[in-house]
Copies of this chain bind each other. A is one copy, B any other.
Amino acid sequence: VVVIDDGLQVLDDDEVRRLLAGGVVGRVGFSIGALPAIVPVNYRLLGGAVVFRTGAGSKLTAALSGSVVAFEVDDYATSDRSGWSVLAVGEAHVVTDLALARAADASGLEPFADGARERLVRIEPTFLSGRRIVHGAPR
Protein backbone atom coordinates (compact mmCIF):
# COMPACT_ATOMS: atom_id res chain seq x y z
CA VAL A 1 0.00 0.00 0.00
CA VAL A 2 1.45 3.34 -1.03
CA VAL A 3 0.01 6.32 0.81
CA ILE A 4 0.40 9.63 -0.99
CA ASP A 5 -0.37 12.76 1.02
CA ASP A 6 -0.36 15.95 -1.01
CA GLY A 7 2.48 14.87 -3.31
CA LEU A 8 4.40 13.20 -0.48
CA GLN A 9 4.68 9.43 -0.06
CA VAL A 10 4.35 8.37 3.57
CA LEU A 11 7.32 6.04 4.18
CA ASP A 12 6.99 2.77 6.06
CA ASP A 13 8.83 2.15 9.30
CA ASP A 14 11.66 0.09 7.75
CA GLU A 15 12.43 2.79 5.20
CA VAL A 16 12.32 5.51 7.87
CA ARG A 17 14.81 3.61 10.05
CA ARG A 18 17.05 2.89 7.06
CA LEU A 19 17.19 6.59 6.14
CA LEU A 20 17.75 7.62 9.77
CA ALA A 21 20.57 5.07 10.11
CA GLY A 22 22.24 6.31 6.93
CA GLY A 23 22.34 10.01 7.77
CA VAL A 24 25.41 12.01 8.82
CA VAL A 25 24.01 15.39 9.86
CA GLY A 26 20.56 16.00 11.34
CA ARG A 27 18.85 18.93 13.02
CA VAL A 28 17.68 19.04 16.62
CA GLY A 29 14.60 21.14 17.36
CA PHE A 30 14.24 22.22 20.97
CA SER A 31 13.46 25.24 23.15
CA ILE A 32 15.88 27.67 24.77
CA GLY A 33 13.82 29.47 27.35
CA ALA A 34 10.48 29.75 25.59
CA LEU A 35 11.94 30.22 22.11
CA PRO A 36 12.27 27.49 19.51
CA ALA A 37 15.70 26.69 18.09
CA ILE A 38 17.15 24.31 15.51
CA VAL A 39 20.80 23.25 15.56
CA PRO A 40 22.56 20.89 13.13
CA VAL A 41 24.58 18.04 14.64
CA ASN A 42 26.43 15.08 13.23
CA TYR A 43 25.13 11.87 14.71
CA ARG A 44 24.94 8.10 14.65
CA LEU A 45 21.95 5.81 15.12
CA LEU A 46 23.06 3.42 17.90
CA GLY A 47 20.75 0.84 19.45
CA GLY A 48 17.79 2.61 17.93
CA ALA A 49 18.70 5.98 19.49
CA VAL A 50 20.02 9.13 17.82
CA VAL A 51 23.38 9.91 19.51
CA PHE A 52 25.55 13.03 19.16
CA ARG A 53 28.26 14.89 21.11
CA THR A 54 27.90 18.28 22.80
CA GLY A 55 29.79 20.42 25.28
CA ALA A 56 29.28 19.79 28.97
CA GLY A 57 28.21 23.33 29.74
CA SER A 58 26.51 24.15 26.47
CA LYS A 59 23.05 25.66 26.23
CA LEU A 60 22.17 22.67 24.09
CA THR A 61 23.00 20.15 26.81
CA ALA A 62 21.09 22.10 29.44
CA ALA A 63 18.08 22.57 27.21
CA LEU A 64 17.95 18.97 26.07
CA SER A 65 18.24 17.12 29.37
CA GLY A 66 14.96 15.26 29.81
CA SER A 67 13.16 17.37 27.20
CA VAL A 68 11.05 16.07 24.36
CA VAL A 69 12.79 17.24 21.19
CA ALA A 70 12.47 16.87 17.44
CA PHE A 71 15.22 15.42 15.27
CA GLU A 72 15.07 15.75 11.50
CA VAL A 73 17.17 14.35 8.65
CA ASP A 74 16.56 15.10 5.00
CA ASP A 75 18.09 15.07 1.56
CA TYR A 76 16.95 16.79 -1.57
CA ALA A 77 18.05 17.68 -5.08
CA THR A 78 17.05 20.91 -6.75
CA SER A 79 17.80 19.45 -10.21
CA ASP A 80 14.79 17.10 -10.22
CA ARG A 81 12.91 18.55 -7.21
CA SER A 82 13.30 15.25 -5.39
CA GLY A 83 13.71 14.80 -1.67
CA TRP A 84 12.80 13.00 1.51
CA SER A 85 12.70 13.82 5.20
CA VAL A 86 12.50 11.83 8.41
CA LEU A 87 11.25 13.17 11.74
CA ALA A 88 11.93 11.54 15.10
CA VAL A 89 10.37 12.92 18.28
CA GLY A 90 11.33 11.74 21.73
CA GLU A 91 13.07 12.46 25.01
CA ALA A 92 16.69 13.59 24.99
CA HIS A 93 19.05 12.53 27.77
CA VAL A 94 22.74 12.86 28.55
CA VAL A 95 24.23 9.39 28.06
CA THR A 96 25.46 7.72 31.24
CA ASP A 97 25.36 4.15 29.86
CA LEU A 98 29.01 3.16 29.34
CA ALA A 99 28.14 0.52 26.75
CA LEU A 100 26.44 3.16 24.63
CA ALA A 101 29.38 5.53 25.15
CA ARG A 102 31.76 2.80 23.96
CA ALA A 103 29.52 2.12 20.95
CA ALA A 104 29.68 5.82 20.09
CA ASP A 105 33.49 5.80 20.35
CA ALA A 106 33.67 2.65 18.20
CA SER A 107 31.35 4.19 15.60
CA GLY A 108 33.83 7.01 14.96
CA LEU A 109 31.28 9.65 15.95
CA GLU A 110 33.11 12.98 16.15
CA PRO A 111 31.74 16.52 15.89
CA PHE A 112 32.73 18.37 12.71
CA ALA A 113 33.70 21.40 14.81
CA ASP A 114 36.76 21.65 17.03
CA GLY A 115 36.25 22.39 20.71
CA ALA A 116 35.40 20.31 23.74
CA ARG A 117 32.23 18.26 23.22
CA GLU A 118 32.63 15.61 25.88
CA ARG A 119 28.97 14.89 26.52
CA LEU A 120 26.95 12.36 24.58
CA VAL A 121 23.25 13.04 24.14
CA ARG A 122 20.79 10.39 23.02
CA ILE A 123 17.31 10.90 21.64
CA GLU A 124 14.99 7.91 22.00
CA PRO A 125 12.48 8.12 19.15
CA THR A 126 8.93 7.69 20.45
CA PHE A 127 7.40 8.91 17.20
CA LEU A 128 9.03 8.21 13.85
CA SER A 129 7.76 9.29 10.46
CA GLY A 130 9.09 10.01 7.00
CA ARG A 131 8.00 11.33 3.65
CA ARG A 132 9.36 11.31 0.14
CA ILE A 133 8.42 13.59 -2.74
CA VAL A 134 6.78 11.69 -5.61
CA HIS A 135 6.05 13.33 -8.93
CA GLY A 136 3.19 12.13 -11.09
CA ALA A 137 0.75 9.38 -10.19
CA PRO A 138 2.03 6.44 -8.12
CA ARG A 139 2.15 3.04 -9.83
Using CB atoms and an 8 Å cutoff, list the residues of chain A in contact with chain B.
Answer: 6-8, 24-25, 27, 29-31, 35-40, 55, 58, 68-72, 74, 76, 78, 81-83, 85, 87, 89, 111-117, 127, 133-136
Contacts and interface: CB of A to CB of B under 8 A. Distances in A.
24 contacts: A6-B113, A6-B117, A7-B114, A7-B115, A8-B115, A25-B74, A25-B76, A29-B36, A35-B68, A35-B70, A35-B89, A36-B70, A36-B89, A37-B87, A38-B71, A38-B87, A39-B85, A40-B74, A40-B76, A76-B112, A81-B112, A113-B134, A114-B134, A114-B136
Contacts of A71: 38
A117 to B, nearest CB: 8
